[in-house]
Structure 1
């Protein structure tokens, strides 16, 4: 029976117990902190591995492989470098100049796109670093070797990593389809959306985000992200859509081809079935686009997903300016 009195033995015992409990408490606290740190490190490792796994998926297939091993290289900017392919110690432009596909990093010199060394120099530094690796290789499409300026168009691979994709995912570039379309379009679009949503590189500042979104808009494309004010996330039905409600915004519309009209200089108007528009919903496209997208053989009745900006042509006709199309049937 407890009397309410505390004798000396009880006091000593309680004191020792209290000290022991304090030591145990500190011990378990350290274990908890270590567990949290270890868990965080493991999660970062897993995230990094996941990013690398995503980037490895978009390497080209059946393209010509060119090794850069022991070649003299010179980096021009974040998307362009010279390679001494003939091993004479000199660089021949444009024969030995390489332009990376699907990217367009900020310019370091004056151009029609402006000059942006603040964001361009990190891109150049990143490319210089990866090119210093000993096992860098280029992938070149035999059907699309050179661009408008005679430069070699390529995808750069280092240790199984798609560097073109890495430039986009780290925010050094937007996703550029000016020279060609990748088979892994979705992977590149997701990489761009990732950088945009994480505010990386060109997407890190409010002014630069606005500037590059406007540049993309001028080129008829945009970032596929719900945080992008130009992008309409919900896929629309071509038969009932009112384009006037989406002026200047990027849409994805599904519908069947009602009519195809050929225009001058390779332009083409494709009309999708629409309940209120007699001719149909007009979609304007160009020859190179249709070639890259594999749309040369589309015909009346085909079901498509059209992606592009809603625009008012000559203040009279609402239409979609095609960026991408997917044949659904």
Structure 2
């Protein structure tokens, strides 16, 4: 890939913005927060060096940076951490024209967006995702939130960013396990909307990584442009997430998000096939693609009662009725409403292990 190439992806809707995909994008940051006198830079400890460079870019443009270090990963996605951020903004005298910048993986960008959405009922946020998961999922789309004891992302707000900078250079040092975990969301995009993604993953995901990021971002951008608030179409982005989020909750968020979603995708494929919606070959392809990446495709059979209970408080449920995104074929997502418990269990038996 040409290292100087920058791809711009437009996200439409009531508050349009751009996602830039390329390398060394920090110079684009100041223009996105041009009205700000100061900008909070939220980051987790492993990203301190990158956060310092982001702060330097702001300072060089005459914007005072306010670094705020968060606990790493899901430990930082709590209301207590958000409250600490709000205290820091208050002490710094943050106004409505100031901004928040999220530097890190999906957990950091989720919290940064939530902090920005709530402060003075909404200030600008710019997302600088540094993980593959953050680039293709968390940072794009305007969904922000924190976790509570009741479940993942149940407290949050829709707050589109002023812009997203997907700096591919940060992936060079990303731990392999985190890179592979992020590919689960990329694979999801392939199954729900862009089958070319699956071909690239099966060929060589490392060689095609820049194109995979661009394609996955385009899938999400297209969906959220049409449905910011998850009133209909956006639900398809939750393919594999109903069981995946239940696994994360059962594991007390000790599993990587992508690992849980990988199992959830295999489960959703089994559910779609058993419901008479999805053909056998496409269902099998879920397992082969994900297993080929080294992602988990099974989970303990004895966990089913816990997972079933957790799914009932999922955001996609409507009252007592569970809703699942399934496929009617490749790139043909559909909603399966209130499937019977015996069907849910039968599908789980295909991923459950002793």
Q: Give the structure-1-normalised TM-score.
A: 0.31
Q: Which has the higher contact order (CA 8 A, sep 6+)?
A: 2
Between Structure 1 and Structure 2, which shows a larger proportion of helix residues?
2
Q: Give the structure-2-normalised TM-score.
A: 0.30
Between Structure 1 and Structure 2, which shows a larger proportion of strand residues?
1
Larger radius of gyration: 1
